Structure 1
Amino acid sequence: MKRKDIMVIVGIAIVSAIFSYVISNALFGTQTDQSKLLEAPEVQPISAEFPTPDERFFNPQSLNPTKNITIGDYSQ
Protein backbone atom coordinates (compact mmCIF):
# COMPACT_ATOMS: atom_id res chain seq x y z
CA MET A 1 0.00 0.00 0.00
CA LYS A 2 1.12 3.48 -0.67
CA ARG A 3 1.53 6.12 1.97
CA LYS A 4 -1.44 8.03 0.55
CA ASP A 5 -3.73 4.97 0.87
CA ILE A 6 -2.80 4.51 4.52
CA MET A 7 -3.50 8.17 5.27
CA VAL A 8 -6.93 7.90 3.61
CA ILE A 9 -7.79 4.82 5.70
CA VAL A 10 -6.62 6.53 8.92
CA GLY A 11 -8.61 9.66 8.03
CA ILE A 12 -11.78 7.66 7.37
CA ALA A 13 -11.31 5.78 10.66
CA ILE A 14 -10.97 9.04 12.61
CA VAL A 15 -14.02 10.60 10.95
CA SER A 16 -16.12 7.47 11.56
CA ALA A 17 -15.03 7.34 15.23
CA ILE A 18 -16.04 10.97 15.77
CA PHE A 19 -19.35 10.37 13.96
CA SER A 20 -20.08 7.29 16.10
CA TYR A 21 -19.28 9.20 19.30
CA VAL A 22 -21.62 12.06 18.39
CA ILE A 23 -24.47 9.73 17.39
CA SER A 24 -24.12 7.58 20.54
CA ASN A 25 -24.21 10.68 22.77
CA ALA A 26 -27.32 11.88 20.97
CA LEU A 27 -29.07 8.54 21.43
CA PHE A 28 -27.97 7.55 24.93
CA GLY A 29 -27.11 10.92 26.51
CA THR A 30 -24.77 11.45 29.42
CA GLN A 31 -25.00 10.42 33.06
CA THR A 32 -25.48 14.00 34.22
CA ASP A 33 -28.67 14.47 32.18
CA GLN A 34 -31.32 14.43 34.93
CA SER A 35 -34.27 14.26 32.53
CA LYS A 36 -33.28 10.80 31.28
CA LEU A 37 -32.67 9.16 34.66
CA LEU A 38 -35.22 6.53 35.62
CA GLU A 39 -36.51 5.63 39.06
CA ALA A 40 -37.45 2.11 40.06
CA PRO A 41 -40.80 1.62 41.78
CA GLU A 42 -40.81 0.70 45.46
CA VAL A 43 -41.74 -2.92 46.10
CA GLN A 44 -43.07 -4.61 49.21
CA PRO A 45 -40.70 -7.03 50.99
CA ILE A 46 -41.42 -10.74 50.75
CA SER A 47 -42.91 -12.21 53.92
CA ALA A 48 -41.53 -15.40 55.45
CA GLU A 49 -45.02 -16.50 56.56
CA PHE A 50 -47.06 -18.83 54.37
CA PRO A 51 -50.75 -19.66 54.60
CA THR A 52 -51.81 -23.11 55.73
CA PRO A 53 -52.03 -25.47 52.72
CA ASP A 54 -55.37 -26.89 51.62
CA GLU A 55 -56.28 -30.07 53.51
CA ARG A 56 -57.67 -31.66 50.33
CA PHE A 57 -54.18 -31.94 48.86
CA PHE A 58 -51.86 -32.14 51.86
CA ASN A 59 -53.07 -34.95 54.08
CA PRO A 60 -51.71 -38.33 55.22
CA GLN A 61 -53.82 -40.24 52.66
CA SER A 62 -52.48 -38.31 49.65
CA LEU A 63 -50.47 -40.07 46.94
CA ASN A 64 -46.70 -39.69 47.11
CA PRO A 65 -45.52 -38.65 43.63
CA THR A 66 -41.89 -39.48 44.47
CA LYS A 67 -42.64 -43.14 45.22
CA ASN A 68 -41.52 -45.66 42.57
CA ILE A 69 -44.48 -47.36 40.91
CA THR A 70 -44.10 -50.74 39.20
CA ILE A 71 -46.74 -51.79 36.69
CA GLY A 72 -46.86 -55.52 36.00
CA ASP A 73 -44.02 -57.96 36.67
CA TYR A 74 -40.94 -55.91 35.88
CA SER A 75 -37.58 -57.40 36.83
CA GLN A 76 -34.15 -57.07 35.32
Structure 2
Amino acid sequence: MKKTDIAMIILIASVSIIVAFFATNAFFGDTATEDVTVKTVDPITDEIAEPDPRIFNEEAINPSVEVQVGSSEQ
Protein backbone atom coordinates (compact mmCIF):
# COMPACT_ATOMS: atom_id res chain seq x y z
CA MET A 1 0.00 0.00 0.00
CA LYS A 2 1.10 3.47 -0.75
CA LYS A 3 1.28 6.25 1.80
CA THR A 4 -1.64 7.98 0.11
CA ASP A 5 -3.79 4.86 0.51
CA ILE A 6 -3.07 4.69 4.24
CA ALA A 7 -3.75 8.41 4.62
CA MET A 8 -7.07 8.02 2.75
CA ILE A 9 -8.12 5.12 5.02
CA ILE A 10 -7.30 7.17 8.13
CA LEU A 11 -9.21 10.17 6.73
CA ILE A 12 -12.29 8.08 5.89
CA ALA A 13 -12.22 6.42 9.32
CA SER A 14 -11.94 9.79 11.07
CA VAL A 15 -14.80 11.30 9.09
CA SER A 16 -16.91 8.19 9.77
CA ILE A 17 -16.31 8.47 13.52
CA ILE A 18 -17.25 12.14 13.53
CA VAL A 19 -20.43 11.51 11.51
CA ALA A 20 -21.39 8.62 13.79
CA PHE A 21 -20.85 10.79 16.88
CA PHE A 22 -23.12 13.57 15.64
CA ALA A 23 -25.73 11.11 14.33
CA THR A 24 -25.96 9.41 17.73
CA ASN A 25 -26.26 12.72 19.53
CA ALA A 26 -29.04 13.74 17.15
CA PHE A 27 -30.84 10.42 17.61
CA PHE A 28 -30.54 10.04 21.39
CA GLY A 29 -30.32 13.72 22.28
CA ASP A 30 -28.41 15.30 25.09
CA THR A 31 -28.37 13.85 28.56
CA ALA A 32 -31.06 15.08 30.92
CA THR A 33 -29.96 17.41 33.67
CA GLU A 34 -33.24 17.24 35.62
CA ASP A 35 -33.49 15.57 39.01
CA VAL A 36 -35.38 12.32 38.94
CA THR A 37 -37.01 10.52 41.85
CA VAL A 38 -37.15 6.75 41.80
CA LYS A 39 -38.87 4.18 43.98
CA THR A 40 -36.72 2.36 46.49
CA VAL A 41 -37.00 -1.34 47.23
CA ASP A 42 -37.85 -2.67 50.68
CA PRO A 43 -34.91 -4.46 52.25
CA ILE A 44 -34.98 -8.26 52.23
CA THR A 45 -35.36 -9.78 55.66
CA ASP A 46 -34.72 -13.27 56.97
CA GLU A 47 -38.29 -13.66 58.24
CA ILE A 48 -40.30 -16.50 56.71
CA ALA A 49 -44.07 -16.16 56.44
CA GLU A 50 -46.25 -19.15 57.27
CA PRO A 51 -47.64 -20.82 54.14
CA ASP A 52 -51.33 -20.60 53.33
CA PRO A 53 -53.09 -23.75 54.62
CA ARG A 54 -55.35 -23.79 51.53
CA ILE A 55 -52.27 -24.39 49.36
CA PHE A 56 -49.78 -26.12 51.66
CA ASN A 57 -50.70 -29.72 52.58
CA GLU A 58 -48.81 -30.72 55.73
CA GLU A 59 -49.84 -34.43 55.56
CA ALA A 60 -48.49 -34.99 52.07
CA ILE A 61 -45.09 -36.54 51.31
CA ASN A 62 -44.41 -33.59 49.07
CA PRO A 63 -46.17 -30.74 50.89
CA SER A 64 -47.63 -28.95 47.93
CA VAL A 65 -51.02 -28.64 46.31
CA GLU A 66 -52.96 -31.88 45.90
CA VAL A 67 -53.39 -32.60 42.21
CA GLN A 68 -56.11 -34.81 40.72
CA VAL A 69 -55.08 -36.25 37.37
CA GLY A 70 -57.86 -37.74 35.26
CA SER A 71 -61.17 -38.74 36.79
CA SER A 72 -61.41 -39.03 40.55
CA GLU A 73 -63.64 -42.15 40.55
CA GLN A 74 -61.89 -44.70 42.74
TM-score (norm 1): 0.51
- Unpaired runs of 5+ residues, structure 2, are 64-74
SS at match of 2:52: coil
**Identity in percent:** 25
TM-score (norm 2): 0.52
When residues 41 and 6 of structure 1 are mapped into structure 2, their CA distance, relative to the original with a 3 A threshold, is same
When residues 58 and 11 of structure 1 are mapped into structure 2, their CA distance, relative to the original with a 3 A threshold, is same
- The letter for the 2-side match of 1:53 is D
Which residue of structure 1 aligns with residue 52 of structure 2?
53
Q: Tell which has more relative contact order, 1 or 2 (C-alpha 8 A, sep 6+).
A: 2
- Unpaired runs of 5+ residues, structure 1, are 67-76
Instruction: Tell me the number of residue pairs that the alignment of Structure 1 and Structure 2 aligns.
Output: 61
Instruction: Write the distance in 1 (CA, Å) between the matches of 2:41 and 2:2.
Output: 67
